[in-house]
Each structure stands twice: as structure tokens, then as C-alpha cells.
Amino acid sequence: MPPRPRPSLAAALAAALVAALLVLLPGSTTAQAAPVLLSQGRPATASSTEGAGTPASAAVDGDNGTRWSSQFADPQWIQVDLGATARLSQVVLRWETAHARAYRIELSTDGSNWTTAHSTTAGTGGVQTLDITGTARHVRVYGTERATAWGYSLWEFQVYGTTGTGPTLPGGGDLGPNVIVFDPSTPGIQARLDQVFQQQESAQFGSGRYQFLFKPGTYNGLNAQIGFYTSISGLGLSPDDTTINGDVTVDAGWFNGNATQNFWRSAENLALNPVNGTDRWAVSQAAPFRRMHVKGGLNLAPNGYGWASGGYIADSRIDGQVGNYSQQQWYTRDSSIGGWSNGVWNQVFSGTQGAPAQGFPNPPYTTLDTTPVSREKPFLYLDGNEYKVFVPAKRVNARGTSWGNGTAPQGSSIPLSQFYVVKPGASAETINQAVTQGLHLLFTPGVYHVDRTIQVNRPGTVVLGLGLATIVPDHGVTAMKVGDVDGVRLAGFLIDAGPVNSPSLLEIGPAGTTTDHAADPTTVQDVFIRVGGAGPGRATVGMVVNNHDTIVDHTWIWRADHGDGVGWETNRSDYGFRVNGDDVLATGLFVEHFNKYDVQWNGERGRTIFFQNEKAYDAPNQAAIQNGSIKGYAAYQVADSVGVHEGWGLGSYCYYNVDPTIRQEHGFQAPVKPGVRFHDLLVVSLGGNGQYEHVINGTGAPTSGTSTVPSTIVSFP
């Protein structure tokens, strides 16, 4: 697609100034959230259409690539039925070249009697955002004078407001039985930690979900062992507000010292004084270590230095050395470390003080001085006795943590009273009503089946999960969709495919959008996607990103290679991660085992810092993965139409254990253009189970034998 126009310098500076003025200090609260998009997908009619390809419905379908256009005459109108009376606040018109010079926005409760909410004789076309007031079920644009010789043409006609459907849902409330809150005087803390760990240590595909929350203060002599679907967090505004003189531990005793299946757990917002000077966090995918202060060292390997395949650190300070040891790959972002030892295949650092120097492939370090754009994950904290969610501000070219050094963190605070606290048993209808009402969403630990898509269409909505809350779409629906709006924050939950095929599991923005979200992008953080493993699951694609400027900061999108409901066709999912939007940034991208392409990147100016992949283990034979004349589907494909793309520290591994004779053409596929650049690529054959013939396109040495030695490329082209 052609390059997308960017805002003018003046506009960008103005937006930056406004954003700076709007930053709220901790303890303050945000204004009431904006109303929701009501018109999308609703019935629409018009006075005329230019032809069959430009119906009225195309203006309310959420697709900026389709449009309604009228016949070449005055007057003309288009109207939408919202389905119920709503309190209206805004209309957004996305005109095609054929726009209106003079028009009215009209409202009606019955579709017959109309009142004027807005009128102009100087319409400029383009995107017009109109603040209106009124209560109506029907809204129409009534054009009286065309600006061109053609008719009237709208890419999108969007109506925002709030509905009065159903009883008003309350905000806030208790966090449910599986959120376990401690303060320093709580008796029996260690026993409660041990009780949950005993239940969750090996419950890889169980239904238990738990969140430990520690109020600010000091806790002595604890060892919090963290099992599956268990999160541990401090409730201070800074990690140093909550100190554990002890350990937060992940080890692999349950799996005979092998940490490659230590998934789905997290530690956040705590300070640790490890008992022996070094804390152990031996994890693999989907186990973030965020906003932590370790007053000592950190060991990323299991006891005995068994295999490990992680992992992710962000916004953390480790005063001592990080012992990487057996970790095959790791990504560390916007942190401060006292040192780093060892590295197996792919260790990537961006914005990390104390990171080792660039050395790939020997030692296998990829080091970027800063992270281009980042915004830390929202987190729950206590302001006195009141729960709030802190929403950190965006940073550009960040280096080091967002906290500490005697400065208050930048961002805004939202009281829990502005969240709908979602508990197991809540329906998608109720969840959507909460968003329509203007509430944010806080999912408490549990498993949630939804029979319709959760629609997040309100700008600035925060959707935060505790204890790896898990959403399962029933009947083949998409679990969650985000609208073409600014500033949505998705964080801390798992989407698990259902047995009926879903076209996708998570969609960020509608297809064809042209809206620039650079000033306030959507962020997707610690949101994990799973197809199979906990039972049969199917999806055509895991995550689709259509909105421009989206930041995907740590995700594991996984088609299961073990567990229940696993087989080449049983948990069929052809594509893992598809990017159609421009200027999308992925930091910490883990995508594995999909039947065809694991990553498809179609948008312009995309960037990936760190990528980890394994091709599907269970391909039955060479023919099953044949891609026309190409042997196998690349792990990471950049579309031929893309002119600018860049990636740092990307690795793909194969382990074709059903048919070890399978040959994979390459791990990476991209157009050969000056603007498409890759740094530090590798492919690995695990024990000789299948082989790569090249690293990227036809470039790079083949893997061979059973020695598990990477084939690498430092720079492409």
C-alpha cells in the first residue's frame, strides 16, 4: 500500500503539547470516558446509491475501504437506525472526495420526525468530527449542496453516544475469591502461597486462576513459588513501595528440571531481597517479569541448569548480574541490569542500561540503545485505601525504567469505580454493556466463555486481566475486537480458541482503516493467544492488527504442540499474527507452530524487536507444508508490496518430529528493497528433525546434521 500521510510538524507539535498538558500525576483521576460507537453494523438506508457497489451499509461497516455514494443530484441523505434510543454526543464523517458543502445532521426517535443537531454551509470534506447533543434512535446526514460534480460519498458515518439499555452496571466492588490480598500483618502468608502453588505447580491446562496482591510494606522470610496461571504483584505506585525480604521463585521440579513448559505466570511491581543473593525465575514463554526491583542477582535457569526457552523482562531493575545460562532466547526492554552472563542463540536488549555490547552471532547479543516507542502496562495499585489503575504514559526512545530516580511515574490514574469488575459467569452482552456505559474492564481470575464478540469501541478503554483471566469464544465468534479509536490498552489476559473455528481470536481495528493513531496508540501487552492444549480449538488466524501505530508489547501466540485437542487438523490454525496496519511496532513477539505462516506483515513501516518461533512440529510430511513451489511457509513473511520494514534479533527453529526428513526453504521471506532491512537473523534445526535450506529468501547457509547449531545472518540485504 502507498505510504500513509503523516501529520504536519505543526500539528504534531500541537498534539505533543496537548498530551504533555494532559499528563496526570499519580493520585489524580481521568475524566469520564468518552461514549461508545453505536452505528457500526446497524441498518442503514439512503435516498439513492450510485450503484450496487456503494450501498448505504458500506458507510457503517467499520471498513474505511468501502463507501456509500449517491446519485449526482441534490438533495440526498443517508440515515442509520441505532436500534434503541441513545444519548448522542458525536458524529464523525469520513468523506470521500465527493463531499457536501452544505448539509445537516438530523435526529429522530421514530424515523419520521426530524430535528437538526448540526448545520453548515461550509463543509470542507475530509474527516469531520462534530460534537452534538440530543436523544435519538435514528441519525441522518442530509446533504443540500454538493462540493463536486459527483454525488455525496462517505467512507464512514459514525455516531457516538450512550444507550439506556438494561439496568446501569455498577463500577468497582470486590475482586472475588481468587484475588488474594496480603498486608504485612496478615497471618499465614507463606502457608497460603504454598497452598496455591501445590494446586498450580503442574496444572498446565487446568482451570485454576490466581492473583496475589501485596499491599505496600515489608514482608520477611517469604518464598513465593509461582505456578501456572498465577500472578504476583505489589500494590504500590513504585516497586520499592512493597519489599519482600525473600524470593519469588519459578523452578522446574515438576518437569524433572526442564523449564521449557513453564508458561502462563507473572511477577510485577515488587522489590525483592533474595535470601541467598539471587532470585530464580526459570520460565519460558508467556511469563513476564515486569516492573521488578531485584536487590541482587537473577537466575533465569532451573536448578541443575536444565533446558529453558524464555522469556521477557521489562521496566525492571536488577542490581546484580542476570544469569542467562541455559535460556535459548530472551528479550529485555527499558530496564537496568548489573550485568548479563551467557547466551545460547538469541539475546536481545533495547533501552537497557548495563546491557552487553552488540555481538551477534558470537556472543549472540543484539543490543539497541533505546526502544523507539514504548508504554508500560497498566497496573492496579492502592492510593490510601482506594484501588486505582495506573496507566503509564507513552515514551519515545526510552532507556531505563519508567520509575525510580526520585521522580513520579508519568501517566494517569483511574479509580476502580470506573471499571466494571468482571467475574466468572459474566456474559459478553453484559461486558459490552459495561463498555457502552463508559466503564473500563477489569477481568478477575477465571475462565470466561463468550457467545458474542467483546467490542471495545470507546477511545481510551483499559481492559486489564488479573491472574491470567482467560476468554474462550463459543460458536466460532471472534473473542474481542477493538474499534478504530485511540488509546485502548489491552493487558494481562489469555484468549483460548473454542472447538468451532473462529475467523480470528483478537482483532485490533477494522479492515481498511486509514486513521492515524500515532499520538495515542493502542497497546497490547501480555495478551496471549492459544489454539488447542486445554482442549480442541480452531481459528483461522490468532491476532490481526489493522489499526495504524499499534504497539504489541510481549505476546505469545501459540498453536499447541502438546496437551489435549492437538493434531495437524484437530487444532488447525493457519496463521498466527497478521499485521495490516502501518507503523506497527512489536517488542517481544513470540509466535509458534501454525500450519502455514506464523507471521504475515502487510503494513508499511513495521518494526519488530525480538522474534521467537518454532515451526509446527506435527506436519505429517513434506506435501502438507508445500507452499506452491516453495518448501514450507516462512515463519515471518513480509508482503512483496511492502516498501519499508525493519527487524532486529529474529529466530526460527524447526523440530519436525513426525517426519524428520522435511526440508524448510527458509525461516524468513521478504522483498529485496532498500527500505526492508533485517539485523541478526538465525534459523536452527533442533536435533536434526527437519532442516532449513536458507535463513531468508535464498540467502544464508543451510542447517545440517543433529548438532543444533544456528545458521545466522548479521544483516539483510
Residues with a known catalytic role: 614
- Say how far apart CA 230 and CA 434 lie, in whole Å: 26
Burial class (CB in 10 A: 0-12, 13-18, 19+), 66: middle
What distances in angstroms separate CA 637 from CA 507, 602, 653, one per listed residue? 19, 9, 15
Decide the pairing of beta strands 217-225 and 454-456: unpaired
CB 521 within 8 A of CB 549: yes
**What are the distances in angstroms from CA 494 to CA 175, 447, 467?**
18, 9, 10
How far apart CA 359 and CA 362 sit, in angstroms, is 6
Taking the C-alpha atoms of residue 267 and residue 281, their distance in angstroms, rounded to an integer, is: 9
For residue 21, the 8-state DSSP code is H
In one-letter notation, the amino acid at residue 52 is A
Whether residue 90 contacts residue 128, with contact meaning beta carbons closer than 8 Å, is answered with no
Dihedral over Cα of 369, 370, 376, 382: its sign: positive
Spatial distance between the Cα atoms of 208 and 617, rounded to a whole number of angstroms: 28
> How distant, in Å, are the alpha carbons of 212, 272, 298, 420 from that of 294?
18, 5, 7, 33
Burial of residue 569, with CB atoms counted within 10 A of its CB: 0-12 exposed, 13-18 middle, 19 or more buried: exposed
- Sequential DSSP letters for 494-562: EEE--SSPEEEEEEES-TT-----TTS--EEEEEEEEESBBS---EEEEEEE-STT-EEEEEEEEE-SS
CA distance 653 to 612: 8
The DSSP symbol for 168 reads P
Residue owning grid cell 468451532: 500
- Phi/psi region, residue 428 (left: phi>0; alpha: psi -120 to 50; beta: rest), is alpha
**Pick from 601, 631, 636: which is nearest to 619 by CA?**
631
